[in-house]
Amino acid sequence: MLFTRTYKYRTQKPIEAVKQRLVGQHVRIHKLDFEVYEKDGMVKIIPHAENIEGLRTLPITHIEFEGKGNAQTKVKITSKMRRIDKGGPLLIVTFCVFLLLAALLLGLYGKEGFLPYVFVLGGLGLLVFIVFWVRMESGYFDYVRKIRDFIRHEFA
């Protein structure tokens, strides 16, 4: 999906050593607590979002391990948006796509008098998407990057 990020790493540590080092820890990112726990053989990092005041789009991170022999471990980190947070961003992306599609259709099939509307609709669609993406980079994707860096730091 558009908001899912996957990273793969290899470490020289065995699976149990990596799990032991991660499970039970808490990560603080932008004054928000993320808990690391194990469930069904997979390590998960979930936010404690009960006490936040504003609306935030937060990731849930799954960490999968695969033993490669010789005490090597292949680590797959997948961060995806919480279900409760998906609605707003998907609505904004859909709105931008419809604006750009309307501008494209007006540009292709409209008369010459529709040219100002093409630029207004296309510019508005791009502007809304750019502002949205910059906000996502400083919010949601920043959480994803910092969680990834935390995990990478634990492997070192």
Residue 125 lies in a domain: no
Q: Which residues pair with 66 in a beta bridge?
A: 74
- Residues of the chain with pLDDT > 70, as a percent, come to 93
Give the structural domain span for 46. 5-83
pLDDT at residue number 52: 65
pLDDT at residue number 128: 97
Higher pLDDT, 156 or 26: 26
Residue 71 lies in a domain: yes
* pLDDT of residue 55 exceeding 70: no
* pLDDT of residue 69 exceeding 70: no
* pLDDT of residue 153 exceeding 70: yes
pLDDT digits (tens, 9 = 90+) for 93-147: 999 999 999 999 999 998 888 899 999 999 999 999 999 999 999 988 999 999 8
Residue 20 lies in a domain: yes
Kindly list the strands in the beta sheet with 32-39, ordered across the sheet, starting from the edge strand earlier in the chain.
5-11, 72-81, 59-69, 42-47, 32-39, 26-29
pLDDT digits (tens, 9 = 90+) for 80-93: 998 888 889 999 99
- Residues of the chain with pLDDT > 90, as a percent, come to 37
* pLDDT of residue 79 exceeding 90: yes
* pLDDT of residue 51 exceeding 90: no
- pLDDT classification of 12: cutoffs 50, 70, 90: confident
Single-letter code of the amino acid located at 40: D
DSSP letter string, 104-147: HHHHHHS-GGGHHHHHHHHHHHHHHHHHHHHHHHHTHHHHHHHH
Q: Are 60 and 45 in contact (CB under 8 A)?
A: yes
Q: Are 91 and 17 in contact (CB under 8 A)?
A: no
Residue 152 lies in a domain: no
Number of domains in the chain: 1
CATH of the domain at 63: 3.30.530.20
